[in-house]
Chains A and B, each alone.
Chain A
C-alpha cells in the first residue's frame, strides 16, 4: 500500500493487556477526546475499578465490557505528525486464529503481546505463525507488564530467546523486541526511565519510523471488477475495465494478456475522473482502456507481459486457515473466491497441519477451527494465480460455504 497509511495488527492471549496497550497508545498519542475519556472514567467507576480502565475505550460491545474481554476485531484510527495509522485489535480467545488472520491479512506491522510473567506460550507461537504465514513484513514482540517483574532485563532476555527459536522454526528472519508496561505507559509512547538497560525505541517511535517491505516487483496484475459502458451521447463507444492494480505498475502502452482467454492487447489509456494517468502503481483504483475490442468480463485478469508469469490452473496446493466450527474433510465442496472470480472447488485431500507446540508439520485428515493445514484443491474452472509468497493479492483466496454464505477458510496459494 503506498502513501503514509500504516496498517498495524495487535495480537496476544487473554489478559496480556492488548486493549490496555491500544487504549494507552491512543491516549498518549492524544487521539482520545475529552468526552470519550469522561465516558471511560464514568464506566470504570461504575464497575468499581481503580482509575480509568483504558481497555473500555476499545471494547465496543456490551458483552465485551460486561465480561472484561475483547470478542471481535476492533479497528482504531489515529495520526501523528509522521503517519496515519489503522490499528486492528484482535482478541486472543476462542476464535483466536480467525481474528488474528483477519487483522493480519491487511497489516504492514504486527505487534505480538506477551505477558512478562508467563513468557512465550502456545498462543504466542500461533500468533507468530499466523503473522509470518500471512507475510506481515514487520513483527514487534511487545513484552508487557514489565512493572510486574521489577523491570528485570534477564526476564526480557529469556522471552526474546524463546521467541527467537520459534521464529527461526518459522523462517522469520527478523523481529523487534520492546519491553513495555502498557498500564503505566512505559516505552509505549515515551521512553521508560525505569528500564535504562533498554536502548531501543518506544513502540510508537518504532511504528512512526518503520518502513515495511512491500511485495516484490511483479509485472502488473489487474483483476477486472466491472465493465464501464456509459452508452451516452457524450461517450457513445466508451468501453473501460474498472479495477484495482494488485501488483506492479501498470503503464499506458503496456503489452498485456487477458486471462484466462489468453488474448493479447495494449493499454490504450488509464482513466480516472480526475484525468488520464501515464501509469498506476499497486493499490490504485482506475479504469483501463485497451486498444483492441476484446471480450472481457468481471473475473478476468489483465496481466502485463513479463516474468514471473502467473499460473493458469485448475488445481491448487494451498495453505488453509480454517475459520469455522464444522471441520474440513476431504471431498468437501465450497465456492472459492479469488480476486474478482468465483469458482466451485473440491478439497481433494488434506496433506498436513501445523502443530503449534512444536511449530512443525504433522499428518492430518481433517482441519478443525483454528487449524492451519496444507490441502490440495480441484476447481471447476481455471483461475490465474501467483504464489502467496510473491503476491498477497493474486495469491490469496477464500472458501465460502455455498448454503450459508459464510467465509470458512482463508487460503494461501503454495
Chain B
C-alpha cells in the first residue's frame, strides 16, 4: 500500500510514474493479443476492471477491443454497477459474456454457502466459462498490493487443466519477456495491473477522467454494522436482530458481492477527494471492506489455488 502521494507537478495531473505504469500495462495487454488465440477480459464494473478496460481500449486504438469481456455475476449486485456495465457495453460496442453464479446454483454445480456469501462461489462458473468458450488467456485486474498471496503472483500466470494455481511452481518472469506458452487444456491468467496500488488506480482515474459507478462516491445510504463492517440494507442483506439501521454518508472502496462488501464512512464526493482520502487511509481496502478475506490468514491463497481470480 502506498501511504504518501507524490506531489503533482505544475502540469496539474502529469504524474510521471502513472505514465510508466500505463506503458507497462499496455505492453502486457498487447502481448496477450500477440501470443494467444482466444483472450477474454474479466469485467466486474469495479474500479480495477474499469481501468483495465480503459487500458485495453487504448492499447488497440483506433481499432475496437479485439476480444470480449466477461462478467462473473454473483447475482448479488449493486444496481448502480449493473447499470454502469450495461451502459459501457452499449457505448463501446464491446461484446459482453455473463457467467452466472445463480445459474450454477440452480443447476447444482455449486452450493450456496451458509452465510450466503457468493464471492468464493465465482470460481466454478469462471472455470466453466473459460472451458466452454475455450479461452486461453484471461485478463484480470488483480493487483499485487491488494493482498499478500497476490504479491506472489506472476503477470502471466499459468493455470493447469483444473484451473489451479501452484504458487510454489511458478515460471520465473524476466525483463519484459512474458512467456504465454501453455499446453492444451491449460490457460494463462494475465494481470496487467500487477504493479499498481489502490492509490495509483484512483490517481489514474483522475488523470484520465474515467467515469466510475456512483457507489464509489459518498452518498446517503441505509446501513447497519456487522462484524465491524458497514453493510447496506439490500434485498440480500437485511439486519439481524440487534442490528440497528441508520442513514450515513458512505462510499464503497471495493465492489464485490453485496453480501460481503462493506461501505466506509466518507464525505468524498469527487475523484480528487477519493485520491486524498485513499492517500490518508490507515486501513487497507480489503481489511476495510471484505468479509471474505477475514476468514483466515490464507483465505485468498486458498481461493486462488482453486482457480479464483
Contact = CB atoms under 8 A, between A and B. Distances in A.
A105 interface: yes
Contacts of B30: 225-226, 242-243, 285
Contacts of B2: 31, 77-79, 84
B59 A285 contact: yes
A367 B102 CA distance: 53
B167 A72 contact: yes
A60 B1 contact: no
Contacts of A287: 61
B179 A228 contact: no
B179 A5 contact: no
B182 interface: yes
Contact of A79 (B6, B27, B59, B60): B6
Contacts of B152: 60-61, 72-74
Interface stretch (A111-119, A157-165, A404-412): A404-412
B172 A407 contact: yes
Contact of A2 (B16, B31, B57, B58): B16
B196 to A, nearest CB: 8
Name the residue in A79, A81, A283 with the highest tally of chain B Cβ atoms < 10 Å from its Cβ. Answer: A79
Given A98-B172, A225-B30, A35 B297 contact: no
Contacts, number: 204
Interface stretch (A140-148, A374-382, A392-400): A392-400
A226 B33 contact: yes
Interface stretch (B232-240, B248-256, B280-288): B280-288
Nearest to A61: B167
Given A5-B20, A35-B283, A407 B171 contact: yes
A2 B62 contact: no
Interface stretch (A210-218, A231-239, A258-266, A308-316): A231-239
B6 A75 contact: no
A32 B151 CA distance: 14
A3 B1 contact: no
Interface stretch (B40-48, B73-81, B141-149, B259-267): B141-149
A340 B27 CA distance: 11
Contacts of A105: 174-175
Contacts of B167: 61, 71-72
Contacts of B33: 225-226
A183 interface: no
A72 B165 CA distance: 14
Interface size class on chain B is 35 or more
Nearest to A78: B2
Contacts of A229: 63
A2 B27 contact: no
A285 B26 contact: yes
A71 B62 contact: no
Given A4-B16, A102-B172, A398-B174, A273 B194 contact: no
Interface in B27-43: 27, 30-31, 33-34
Given A35-B287, A298-B34, A405-B181, A71 B168 contact: yes
Contacts of A57: 148
Nearest to A33: B284
B6 A404 contact: no
B251 to A, nearest CB: 18
Name the 5 nearest CB pairs between A and B, nearest first. Answer: A35-B287, A60-B148, A3-B16, A405-B181, A285-B26
15 contacts: A4-B15, A5-B20, A29-B3, A72-B168, A74-B152, A77-B195, A77-B197, A99-B172, A226-B34, A226-B60, A228-B60, A228-B61, A400-B181, A405-B179, A405-B183
Interface of A: 1-5, 29-36, 39, 43, 57-63, 65, 71-84, 86, 98-99, 101-102, 105-106, 225-226, 228-230, 232, 234-235, 238, 242-244, 271-273, 283-285, 287, 298, 323, 335, 337-340, 392-393, 396-398, 400, 404-407, 410
Interface of B: 1-7, 15-17, 19-24, 26-27, 30-31, 33-34, 57-64, 144-145, 147-152, 158, 167-168, 170-177, 179, 181-183, 186, 194-195, 197, 199, 281-284, 287-288, 297-298, 301
Given A86-B195, A405-B181, A406-B171, 19 more contacts: A4-B17, A33-B283, A58-B148, A58-B151, A60-B151, A65-B297, A74-B148, A101-B174, A106-B175, A106-B176, A226-B33, A228-B63, A244-B26, A271-B61, A340-B31, A393-B175, A407-B171, A407-B173, A410-B174
